[in-house]
Amino acid sequence: MTAPDMQAASDALALGIDVINKAVSRAASLPDIDDHQSLLYDIAHAASAIDISRSLLDYGSKGINEGRLACAFIADTIADLNTKLFGREASWGVDVNSLQNAHTFISTYRSPEFVSELATLQAPNHLDQEFEMVADTFRRFGEDKIAPQAEHIHREDTDIPEDIIQGLAELGCFGLSVPEEYGGFATGSESDYLGMVIATEELSRASLGAGGSLITRPEILTRALERGGTEEQKKEWFPKIATGETMVAVAVTEPDYGSDVANLKVTATRVDGGWHINGVKTWCTFAGRANVLMLLARTDPDRSKTHKGLSLFIVPKPQAAGHSFEFDQETGGSMEGRAIPTLGYRGMHSFEIAFNNWFVPSENQIGLEEGLGKGFYMQMAGFENGRLQTAARAVGLMQAAYEEALNYAENRAVFGSSLSEYQLTKTKLGRMAAIIQGSRQYSYSVAQMMAKGEGTLEASMVKAYVCKAAEWVTREAMQIHGGFGFAEEYKISRLFVDARVLSIFEGADETLCLKMIAKRLLANAS
């Protein structure tokens, strides 16, 4: 096998970093940046891949196989950057030969001969023993409890069985981010974030909808409460979240306002002893089974205050099964929900919910008077971590797709030979292996940053890159299956449709790139 050359990888990456820096500087000088959204979008994705590549230099130095995977990922990244540049160098503010000196590195480590060598390559993750135990525990639960039910849940669009929810509660899954003093397992150290990422990946490997996604909503509410909740609210809700007694859904998006959170219209109006919620929320995933909704509403009627007029609420509701629910309160309020049919990510059920004078006690407004008008910021604290977790979900999904494709290729004979013996098949599998390991290692790095109170930009970057990569990986895994990949009896068809949602929720890809990644890059350049 071709040996890795990490010095050549570093040199090639330095050229890519220089291109990104010049492109960001050029974009920052443009008079009306909104007229250049396509440029900003491409810069954001390219910068994300470059940052992942940078994080792989350390991983690649830990062994031969690690180096091979790192070189393949970096070569692919620089080649893709070159594609984005071709014919648009002036717009990017770079010379036409900016990446010329990376040609030899790319030709070596992006060649089909080299990439095909990676098809079945095994490389360690270099986790400490305690995290290996976390991975093993959740992997076994996923294989034993979730995977056997995943296909039925998807095909029939059923509710997630209670034995899965209770089993995860017993494993402490919902308390991974809840501080120890409130009954959870979080110690305030780096291990909190890394453990969450590892558990999420392993559960998502078994099922995106019935596994890894169950952690996300409790995680979002936990982070929001940490950011702005009162001590009494933490004592009330953290223990219930940690044990799984209180299951959480998030109600932020509205029919007319997707990622444009600042212009939300759902209102919360003060009444005696609490608030009345009025309006419609949509894409409230898991809202039927949930016991509470984390709901963002407008508490200041002055819409010119945009996001500064929003507050965050914990909205209790009865638990419901199936695809619809209707609840009435003795005070006269009502709540009605209908599940939105979706092509994938089933089991969780995403609801549109109409609120009519739904009463919420005063003590359920997060932060009380201090929290009024600060709901947007609390919600964002939860969503930043949600983006990292979504990337971990994507890694788990990609790993499952890779394993399905490899198994099918090794057991399928085509024109007298095993499908796995053909170079094209091996090249596809090799590129998958590099993408998956690069994505995984970067998610670990971002977890370490976030544990230090950093990594806001990187959490958006990992989400943008990994979720888009998951679409390619699952598509190629399906293609390796041929016609059988299009048949619902094969697991890969579920993985393919599930992957499509990843670039949409927790921040749509375009909005994430333009409003988070590009905006932050430009701010750092000025």
Helix, strand or coil for residue 337? strand
> Is 151 domain-assigned?
no
pLDDT the model gives residue 8: 98
> Is 283 domain-assigned?
no
Q: Residue 504: CB partners within 8 Å, gap ≥ 6?
A: none
> Is 68 domain-assigned?
yes
> Is 513 domain-assigned?
no
Alpha-carbon torsion (314, 320, 323, 328), positive or negative: negative
| Rounded Cα distance, 446 and 444, in Å | 6
Phi/psi region, residue 345 (left: phi>0; alpha: psi -120 to 50; beta: rest), is: left
* 89 a catalytic residue: no
> Is 373 domain-assigned?
no
* Length of the chain measured in residues: 526
pLDDT the model gives residue 187: 86
Residue 48: give the domain boundaries: 6-110
Catalytic residue among 156, 404, 506, 510: 506
Kind and range of the H or E run holding 346: none
> Is 287 domain-assigned?
no
364 in Cβ contact with 355 (< 8 Å)? no
Q: Environment class of residue 260 by beta-carbon count within 10 Å: exposed (0-12), middle (13-18) or buried (19+)?
A: middle
> Is 209 domain-assigned?
no
Q: Tens-digit pLDDT profile for the chain (526 aa)?
A: 799 999 999 999 999 999 999 999 999 999 888 899 999 999 999 999 999 999 999 999 999 999 999 999 999 999 999 999 999 999 999 999 999 999 999 999 999 999 999 999 989 999 999 999 999 999 999 999 999 999 999 999 999 999 999 999 999 999 988 999 999 988 888 888 999 999 999 999 999 989 988 988 998 999 999 999 999 999 999 999 999 999 999 999 999 876 667 778 999 999 999 999 999 999 999 999 999 999 999 999 887 888 889 999 999 999 999 999 999 999 999 999 999 999 999 998 999 999 999 999 999 999 999 999 999 999 888 888 889 999 999 999 999 999 999 999 999 988 889 999 999 999 999 999 999 999 999 999 999 999 898 999 999 999 999 999 999 999 999 999 999 999 988 999 999 999 999 999 877 899 999 999 999 999 988 6
> Is 229 domain-assigned?
no
Phi/psi region, residue 354 (left: phi>0; alpha: psi -120 to 50; beta: rest), is: beta
Number of domains in the chain: 1
